[in-house]
Amino acid sequence: MSRFGPLAHLTQVMPARRDEPVRTISTEVDVPTLVSRALDGDRWAEEALYRRHVHELTNVVARLLGRTADVDDVIQDTFVTAFARLSTLRDTASFAGWLRRIAVSACLMRFRRRKLLRTFGLDRSSEDATLDALAHEPSPERLAELRTIDRVLARVAARDRFAWMLHHVEGLTLPETAATLEVSLATTKRAIARVEDVLSALREEGR
């Protein structure tokens, strides 16, 4: 069950002005309807779409990036881009997947920028959203395992990291992972295999 408990089917929409009441919408209004209304310039529908996806997406982005400092920028970039390109969305029911693709693309850009900054010794942010840091009361064995995974993920290429995380951490199927990364299924499998190889090697070393 969602962490929002029994109120999960409700989404609060913040008022534009202070004197306006907070509106609560039911998630029974389906996504295609909200997309359609947003395309007609309905700001309420836009905010509803944001509210419905932001929490899930924030967690995905934080885990992919491994640090919380960049999360807000990526989330804002994602939604600004999404609303600007909303008219290009063909299948309105696939809004969540489409949004995730935009977010993953923004995360890749962040990784490239991070790499550049690191080259010039300017990347000083700490990795505070690694798997071991986010783990909720893990056992010592599990914590050690997560740290090993983190070390591997920090070492591999960004696309390999994302493929492995989308599949193993976020639980996407291989086709979904491939679609999110906008690469072929074979490429996705190879990327995940590369990470697994490094992980296996490291586990062997640990024994």
Partner 1 sequence: MTSPIREELRDVSTEARARQNWEGIRVRRSPRTKQRVAWAAISLAAVGAIASLWFVRGDSGALRTSADVVWREGVRGARVAFADGSSIDARRGELELLENERDRLRVWLRDGAATFDVTPGGARRWIVEAGSVTVEVMGTRFDVRVVEERVRVDVARGRVFVRGPTVPRGGVMLGAGESVEASVADLVAALPPRSEGPAPLASSPRARPAESEPTIPGTARDAPELQASGLDRADTLRAQGRAREAIHELVSVADDPRADRTERALAAFTAGKLLAESGDHAEAIRSFELASTLGLGEPLREDACARRAESLAALRDPRMAEAVYEYLARYPRGRHVERLRSLHE
Based on CB atoms, which residue is closest to partner 1, 17 or 119? 17
The verdict on 90 binding partner 1 (CB under 8 A) reads: no
**159 burial via Cβ count (<10 Å: 0-12, 13-18, 19+):** middle
The verdict on 129 binding partner 1 (CB under 8 A) reads: yes
Distance (Å, rounded) from C-alpha 177 to C-alpha 184?
A: 9
Q: Tell me the two tokens of residue 160.
A: 């390999």
Q: Tell me the two tokens of residue 82.
A: 């999404």
- For the CB of residue 83, give the shortest distance to partner 1 in the complex, in Å: 7
Cα distances (angstroms) measured from residue 134 to each of 62, 66, 93, 128: 10, 10, 31, 8
Of residues 7-66, those binding partner 1 (CB under 8 A) = 14, 47, 50-51, 54-56, 58-59, 62-63
- For the CB of residue 93, give the shortest distance to partner 1 in the complex, in Å: 20
Q: Which helix (H) or strand (E) holds 165?
A: none
List interacting residues with partner 1 (CB under 8 A): 3, 14, 47, 50-51, 54-56, 58-59, 62-63, 68, 71-72, 75-76, 79-80, 83-84, 129, 131, 134-136, 138, 142, 146, 168-173
